[in-house]
Amino acid sequence: MLDIKFIKENVELVRAGALKKHITFDLDALLKTDEERIKILGEVEALRKRQNDANALMIKETGGARENLLNEMKEVKAQLQKSEEKLADIMKRWQTLMLTVPNIPDMSVPEGKDDGDNQEVRVWGEKTKFDFTPKSHIELMLAHDMLDLERGTKVSGFRGYFLKNDAVFLSLAIWNYALRFFASKGLAPMIVPSLVLRHNLVGTGYLPQGEDDMYKTQGGEFMAGTGEVATMGYYAGEVLDKSQLPIKTLSFSPCFRREAGAHGKDVKGLIRVHEFYKWEQVVLCEANHEESVKMHEWINANTEEFIQTLKIPYHTVANCGGDLGLGQVKKYDIELWVPAEGKYREISSASYFHDFQTRRLNIRYKDNKNKMRYAHSLNSTAIPTPRILVSIIENYQNSDGSIKIPDVLVPYMGKNVIL
- Residues with catalytic roles: 257, 272, 346, 349, 387
Question: What is the enclosing helix (H) or strand (E) of 273?
Answer: none
Name residue 113's amino acid: K
Task: Mark out the alpha helices in 208-283 (DSSP H runs).
Answer: 227-234
Cβ within 8 Å of residue 139, ≥6 positions away: none
Cβ within 8 Å of residue 231, ≥6 positions away: 190, 192, 249, 251, 280, 282, 379
Burial of 408 (0-12, 13-18, 19+ CB in 10 A): middle
Complete edge-to-edge strand list for the sheet that includes strand 330-338: 119-124, 314-318, 330-338, 343-352, 376-385, 275-285, 247-256, 188-191
Q: How far apart are CA 6 and CA 102, in angstroms?
A: 13
Local structure of 283: helix, strand or coil: strand
**Beta strand pairing status for 403-404 and 147-148?**
unpaired
Name residue 66's amino acid: R
Question: What is the enclosing helix (H) or strand (E) of 332?
Answer: strand 330-338
